[in-house]
């Protein structure tokens, strides 16, 4: 099949390259020529384990262009995978999705063959049917379901293991209101061999938001209990290991610490809360999930102040800037508020991250970035913000360590050790 993917970021690039690996001809489209140049040269435009190898392996089947119109004309199916950031009030910003749909629609106007448009970006339930589809119909002068196909195919990959998640997902959700679109997507995904759920379009969108809401809620619940555990001298890890053994509860994602970040959980939970409010529903639990998450990084600073009350002029080392290990993504990383608070308190920040320093430097040029984690250990105190595996191998003896991610070696060795929830 000839596939185009609009938006060549963490989702679009991985999805497109994985489709190429399944044998399809893929055209990747982005407005950022640097990303496209990287792909054309056989390099990955993002830090994602295994992606560059897959780009090189499938080079003959992948092309990269800024010409969206040519990409639509030369392919049969288009996945829209552009960003859906938050607006000021937390509601979803649809300008990239609807902008792409407008342009796709203009091309479909003159296209004779049946084309299928799939919204892969995470969007509020109802967006594909009530917003994207009317934009496509108006721009093309055609009717969805009859003249072109439209559907939803939310993405569940995790940065850091995106290639594996994409090629062997837990499940594939296809949202389609017409049988032709459902059939095209089902055939496309059949070789993946995972469970495929075909649902109405709006249900598929709701499944994605609900998945992220459940995972975020699990983390904030774990953090609330973890905060209490710390006060009571109870080890929260022991608690959650035992709780997770209950057949009705999975042990996954009971992660205590400084909370969740990244490009999905915070923005998607905010969008769900804001969208629900607009429909007259107040999602109280999810509001609390966000509130707990905002408070967790502040706990790290108050633990640090127990040992160094005045941070003015002190050198504070930071291990980890990415929102999670194995990515260079710093969107909504918990390191952002922590470093901002340290700088506001007059501390000198020295930081190391194996992949995310370049991205972090654009936001915080005043931080001292060092070339190895050992250089961070010489600071007056060390904060652990991301659980990169290489931090497990460091020598923490004689150090003051405030840990937001529970590194067992630091816990065992540090002269003074404080964990956020344990
Ligand atoms: N990052 C994840 O782990 C993840 C996981 C699941 C779902 N999602 C969702 O997938 C969507 C994309 O997320 P992402 O992390 O890949 O975003 P991203 O910011 O990494 O990538 C989006 C890309 O779209 C490009 N773009 C914007 N407008 C365009 C246009 N008109 N034409 C062509 N390209 C355009 C941008 O230049 C950028 O490269 C979002 O809705 C997100 O919520 C993300």
Is the CB of 96 inside a 6 Å radius of any atom of ligand 1? yes
Instruction: Write b or e for each residue in 71-97: b if 16 or more Cβ atoms lie within 10 A of its Cβ, otherwise e.
Output: bbeebbbbbbbbbbebeeebbbebebb
d(CA 71, CA 76): 10
- Per-residue model confidence (pLDDT) at position 204: 98
* CA 13 / ligand 1 centre spacing (Å): 9
Residue nearest ligand 1's atom 18 by CA: 9
114, 257: one domain: no
The CATH number linked to 397 is 3.40.50.720
User: Among the options 18, 101, 166, 264, which is catalytic?
Assistant: 264
Q: Give pLDDT < 70 ranges for the chain.
A: none
- Per-residue model confidence (pLDDT) at position 199: 98
Residue nearest ligand 1's atom 21 by CA: 9
Q: Which atom of ligand 1 is nearest to the CA of 6?
A: 33
- Per-residue model confidence (pLDDT) at position 395: 97
Does 393 reside within a domain? yes
Give the rounded distance of the alpha carbon of 106 from its chain centre: 31
d(CA 147, CA 217): 41
- Residue 189, SS3 per DSSP: helix
Question: 158-187, pLDDT tens digit by residue?
Answer: 999 999 999 999 999 999 999 999 999 999
Does 411 reside within a domain? yes
Domain count, the chain: 2
Question: 362-415, pLDDT tens digit by residue?
Answer: 999 999 999 999 999 999 999 999 999 999 999 999 999 999 999 999 999 999
152, 295: one domain: no
195, 240: one domain: no
- Per-residue model confidence (pLDDT) at position 30: 98
Mutate to test the pocket of ligand 1, among 4, 6, 7, 131 (most ligand atoms within 8 A of CB): 7
161, 259: one domain: no
Does 34 reside within a domain? yes
Does 151 reside within a domain? yes
250, 165: one domain: no
- Per-residue model confidence (pLDDT) at position 62: 98
Instruction: Give the end of a domain, one of 182, 199, 216.
Output: 199
- Per-residue model confidence (pLDDT) at position 153: 98
d(CA 117, CA 150): 5
- Per-residue model confidence (pLDDT) at position 141: 98
- Per-residue model confidence (pLDDT) at position 321: 98
409, 269: one domain: yes
Mutate to test the pocket of ligand 1, among 5, 11, 39, 106 (most ligand atoms within 8 A of CB): 11
328, 179: one domain: no
Does 81 reside within a domain? yes
Containing domain of residue 309, as a range?
233-419
d(CA 410, CA 416): 10
195, 238: one domain: no
- Per-residue model confidence (pLDDT) at position 46: 95
Terminal Cα distance for the chain, rounded: 52
* CA 122 / ligand 1 centre spacing (Å): 9
188, 57: one domain: yes
Whether 166 is a known active-site residue: answer no
Does 226 reside within a domain? no
280, 167: one domain: no
Q: Where are the alpha helices (DSSP H) in 22-171?
A: 33-40, 51-57, 68-73, 95-108, 127, 133-140, 162-167
148, 292: one domain: no
193, 281: one domain: no
């Amino acid at each position: 099949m000839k596939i185009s993917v609009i938006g060549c970021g963490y989702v679009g690039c991985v999805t497109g390259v994985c489709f190429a690996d399944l044998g399809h001809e893929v055209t990747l489209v982005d407005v950022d020529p640097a990303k496209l140049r990287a792909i054309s040269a056989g390099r990955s435009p993002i830090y994602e384990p295994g992606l560059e190898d897959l780009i090189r392996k499938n080079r003959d089947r992948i092309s990269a262009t800024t010409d969206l119109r040519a990409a639509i004309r030369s392919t049969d199916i288009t996945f829209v995978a552009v960003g859906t950031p938050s607006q000021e009030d937390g509601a979803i910003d649809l300008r990239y999705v609807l902008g792409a749909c407008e342009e796709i629609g203009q091309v479909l106007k003159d296209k004779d063959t049946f084309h299928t448009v799939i919204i892969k970006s995470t969007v509020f339930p109802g967006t594909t049917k009530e917003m994207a589809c009317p934009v496509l119909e108006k721009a093309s002068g055609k009717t969805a379901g009859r003249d072109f196909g439209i559907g939803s195919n939310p993405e569940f990959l995790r940065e850091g293991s995106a290639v594996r998640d994409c090629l062997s997902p837990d499940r594939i959700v296809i949202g389609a209101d017409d049988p032709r679109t459902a059939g095209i997507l089902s055939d496309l995904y059949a070789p993946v061999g995972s469970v495929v759920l075909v649902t109405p379009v709006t249900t598929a969108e709701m499944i994605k938001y609900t998945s992220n809401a459940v995972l975020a809620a699990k983390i904030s619940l774990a953090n609330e209990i973890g905060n209490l555990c710390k006060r009571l001298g109870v080890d929260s890890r022991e608690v959650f290991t035992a709780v997770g053994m209950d057949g009705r509860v999975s042990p996954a994602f009971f992660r205590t610490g400084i909370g969740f970040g990244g490009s999905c959980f915070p923005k998607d939970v905010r969008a769900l809360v804001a969208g629900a409010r607009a429909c007259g529903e107040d999602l109280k639990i999810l509001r609390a999930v966000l509130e707990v998450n905002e408070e967790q990084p502040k706990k790290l600073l108050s633990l640090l102040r127990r040992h160094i009350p005045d941070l003015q002029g002190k050198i504070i080392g930071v291990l980890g800037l990415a929102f999670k290990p194995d990515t260079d993504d710093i969107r909504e990383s918990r390191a952002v508020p922590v470093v901002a608070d340290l700088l506001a308190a007059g501390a000198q920040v020295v930081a190391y991250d194996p992949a995310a320093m370049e991205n972090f430097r654009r936001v915080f040029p005043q931080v001292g970035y060092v070339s190895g984690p050992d250089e961070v250990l010489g600071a007056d105190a060390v904060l652990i913000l991301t659980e990169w595996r290489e931090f497990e191998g460091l020598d923490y003896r004689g150090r003051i360590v405030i840990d937001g991610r529970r590194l067992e070696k630091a816990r065992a060795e540090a002269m003074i050790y404080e964990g956020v929830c344990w």
